[in-house]
Structure 1
Amino acid sequence: MVDFNKYDVIIFDFDGVIVDSMKVRDNGFRAIFSDFNTDDVEKLVKYNRKNGGLSRFHKIKYFYEEILKSNIEDSLIKKYAEEFTEIMKSELIKLDYLIKDTVEFIKKNKDIKKLYIASGSENEELNYLCRELGIDHCFSAIYGSPRHKNDIVKSIIEDNKYDNSKVILIGDSINDYEAAKVNGIEFAGYNNISLKDLTNNYVDKFSMLMKCS
């Protein structure tokens, strides 16, 4: 059980923590790469599921360089990323994708903690989705890719001169864990039981926790 009373700042991942978006993201990659071999695309989908905290820019490049064993120009990465963004914007604005357990926790604590989002989702899209879902006002700031999550977390801490011991990151992937570890802050796993092997801080349900005070 995590004692959030020890922390003044809570950084949330977005996908898998605030929105249940994995299947939508998977289908987005299937859509933009529909002209490619299905087995190759499914390798990317598998990679996506294991690396939820990484950006689409990284994953598009990974698809070409590691799966297709081919080079890809930055302009083509941008083109695919823009196509992916349009799919996400049209689908993920649906309130059904919000993880109500997390959202209730956020709303109860938005006035007593500094809350942030640090996500692998594209920055403009991420802010658009949060506005459309009606949760943007809950956060001090919302940051996405192409900046790496490690750098986003570092900036949140350094720009605001936060005490590292008072900051915790909540995520559902190994990439989130690494972003916390490299920045010397606590990590809490959520929505991915394999993370219990990495940390004693695991949230089974936010609804089981008292409101922070």
Structure 2
Amino acid sequence: MSKDLKLIKVIFWDFDGVLMDSNAVRDLGFEKVLEEFPKEQVERLLNFHKANGGLSRYVKFRYFFEEIRNEAITEDQILLWAERFSIIMKNLLVNPNLLINETLDFVRQNQEKYRMHITSGSDQEELRYLCKSMSIENLFESIHGSPKPKKQWVKELIDSHDYNINECVLIGDSVNDLEAAQFNGIHFYGYNNNNLTVYNTNLFKFL
């Protein structure tokens, strides 16, 4: 890891695009679950989804119906759409070939050096199912996802473990990951997204 992070003791990992090359599959999932709606509306959602990779599907489905379709939607309806999406994701993502070996090899080689958690915008139940199905859940101290926002999970983990924020870093591939790190006053390293450099962030490199 970069010498700039030599004092780091805790790593919060994003999942999609960082530990798993799943972003394109997530795109396909939204296309499939919303295939009954006009393509132009689904395309607008996909643009929002790609620009806000760290946000949960619950936020994205609400955005689709309220902001794009100008329709009211209840929490129960959002949960139903999220469950439909999750069924598609479980079928498509249990694929070890999608795992990003570079980051997972780093995790395996440094389990004794860092305390590591997954904090993702993906659905928590689905995320834990995927990690267990591909035998990587034991690489992390804990695995957390939506509907609780990423920034809240990071805060709760810092508080519950009494972590020193100066010794924590969040590694992610979206501006939402950067915002979660900034919200909690911890370090941030971008990964797999050169566009993050416009925010004056460093990119995570393996040495």
Normalised by the length of structure 1, the TM-score is: 0.94
**How big is the shift at 1:194?**
1.0
User: 2:2 maps to what in 1?
Assistant: 2
Indicate yes or no: 2:73 matched with 1:61: no
**How big is the shift at 1:201?**
2.2
User: 1:97 maps to what in 2?
Assistant: 98
d(CA) in 1 for partners of 2:115, 2:197: 25
User: 1:29 maps to what in 2?
Assistant: 30
Structure 2 counterparts to residues 1-213 of structure 1, below 5 A: 2-3=2-3, 4-203=5-204, 205-206=205-206, 209=207
Which secondary structure state, in structure 2, belongs to the residue aligned with residue 150 of structure 1?
Answer: helix
Q: Does the 8 Å CA contact 1:189/1:199 hold for their aligned counterparts?
A: no
d(CA) in 2 for partners of 1:126, 1:138: 14
5+ long unaligned stretches in structure 1: none
Give 4+ residue runs of structure 1 displaced > 4 Å after superposition: none
5+ long unaligned stretches in structure 2: none
Distance change in 2, residues 1:200/1:49 (3 Å): closer
**How big is the shift at 1:167?**
0.2
Q: Does the 8 Å CA contact 2:12/2:117 hold for their aligned counterparts?
A: yes
d(CA) in 2 for partners of 1:47, 1:63: 9
Deviation digits for residues 126-181 of structure 1 (CA, Å, limit 9, x no counterpart): 01111111111111100000001110000110000000000000000000000000
Q: Does the 8 Å CA contact 1:188/1:199 hold for their aligned counterparts?
A: no
Normalised by the length of structure 2, the TM-score is: 0.96
**How big is the shift at 1:51?**
0.6
**How big is the shift at 1:200?**
4.0
RMSD: 1.1
d(CA) in 1 for partners of 2:200, 2:110: 23
Q: How many residues are paired up? A: 206
Percent of aligned pairs sharing the same letter: 43
